[in-house]
A and B are shown apart, each in its own frame.
Chain A
């Protein structure tokens, strides 16, 4: 019994509370249809205007802006790509030119070196030939001089000794006897002086 009263009181309490709440605030204002027509009207109006202005004026502009930017960026990328290719080909050309000119320089250097070496060799040869000839000539002359030298010396010796004898003794001696002596002496000493 007590239990029943307890539950009843809880139940009625709930009922009572709900009534109080409802009386105080009128429930959910959303469910009050007083301004529903007004809200529908203003929603249609504002949303309609918003949709028309956005779809006719603003969104096409944004879309165009985006497209324009995209195409501009694409163009720039393409231009950059083209310039990069150009510069690459230029670099290749430059490399080729440098390679060619290096080769040329090498060839020129090689040629001129060979030429110079040849020149030097030629000159050396001619000089050596000349020198050899000179040497030979000189040797011949020396030979000639060497061969004629003992005769002259003998003559000078004969003259000098006849002169000496004249001055010492005052008498003239026959040249042939002096020459005989000189010849004899020179033959004895010839090996000593000339070595041959």
Chain B
């Protein structure tokens, strides 16, 4: 039934069932939109970097503005040491942004509204940052859990809290993005359903609400991609510049 606001999140197989061993890796609508988002990013940025003119054309300007935007974001939050991770954070930001934005088109699928996708991304970031931290500082990285200037009596409690907050980073990072995307899309679907059920007489109010929500959701789509990227930068900053 189309009126159910959750049906939009259903994953279904496109094409034949592909299996490697016992694992089902069939091409689904989620895979389709991952491929579309990646391709769109590659096409846009390839066009934007193809020829270099002193006065950039629109697509070149877009590519260069996003480049300097992400570059500035990284240098502001994680400093100059984070330069080698620029392309990863750039790809991450663009991937999440494009997945969110493609989800805003009616009848599409929002890849980032699935907890498993955001959780895999967040876990990868978490594991990567932890590995970088231990490689850079050895066991000194554990000092991250011992903030300076804390009374000795409070120290055991603070260390436990710090460890819990550190371990919950992948969960908070993934759930933030997933919950935002799911809630927004569900709400839009609900208001869309109200338009149908209230008909021509009363449907205008939820319709106008739906229009306003679309604007809000586009803002949220950008904002969540930005938050995702900037939190990655902050975690990376903790691992690179240990100053607790």
Q: Which residues of A come within 8 Å of B, CB atoms?
A: 24-25, 27-32, 34-44, 46-47, 49-51, 53-55, 57-59, 61-66, 68-69, 72-73
Contact = CB atoms under 8 A, between A and B. Distances in A.
29 contacts: A24-B1, A25-B4, A28-B182, A30-B182, A32-B11, A35-B26, A35-B28, A39-B28, A39-B120, A42-B27, A42-B31, A43-B121, A44-B120, A46-B31, A46-B34, A46-B37, A47-B38, A47-B91, A47-B121, A49-B38, A50-B42, A50-B95, A51-B88, A55-B88, A55-B91, A59-B86, A59-B90, A62-B67, A66-B64
Nearest to A59: B87
Contact of B34 (A37, A43, A73): A43
A152 B23 CA distance: 170
Contacts of A64: 52
A37 B67 CA distance: 33
A37 B86 CA distance: 28
A62 B64 contact: yes
B132 interface: no
Closest 5 pairs (CB-CB, A-B): A55-B87, A42-B31, A61-B49, A65-B52, A46-B34
A63 B67 contact: yes
Interface of B: 1, 4, 6-7, 9-11, 13, 23-28, 30-31, 34-35, 37-38, 41-42, 45-46, 48-49, 52, 54, 60, 63-64, 67-68, 86-88, 90-91, 94-95, 111, 113-117, 120-121, 178, 182
A72 B54 contact: yes
A57 B94 CA distance: 16
Given A38-B25, A58-B49, 10 more contacts: A28-B182, A30-B114, A35-B13, A39-B117, A43-B34, A46-B35, A46-B38, A47-B38, A47-B121, A72-B54
Main secondary structure of the interface of B (DSSP, over half): helix
A42 B64 contact: no
B38 A50 contact: yes
Contacts of B35: 42, 46
A63 B27 CA distance: 35
B9 A28 contact: yes
Contacts of B111: 43
Contact of B95 (A34, A47, A59): A47
A32 B106 CA distance: 23
Contacts of A46: 31, 34-35, 37-38
Contacts of B178: 30
Contacts of B45: 54, 58-59, 62
A45 to B, nearest CB: 8
A48 to B, nearest CB: 9
Nearest to A53: B42
B48 A51 contact: no
Nearest to B86: A59
A30 B113 contact: yes
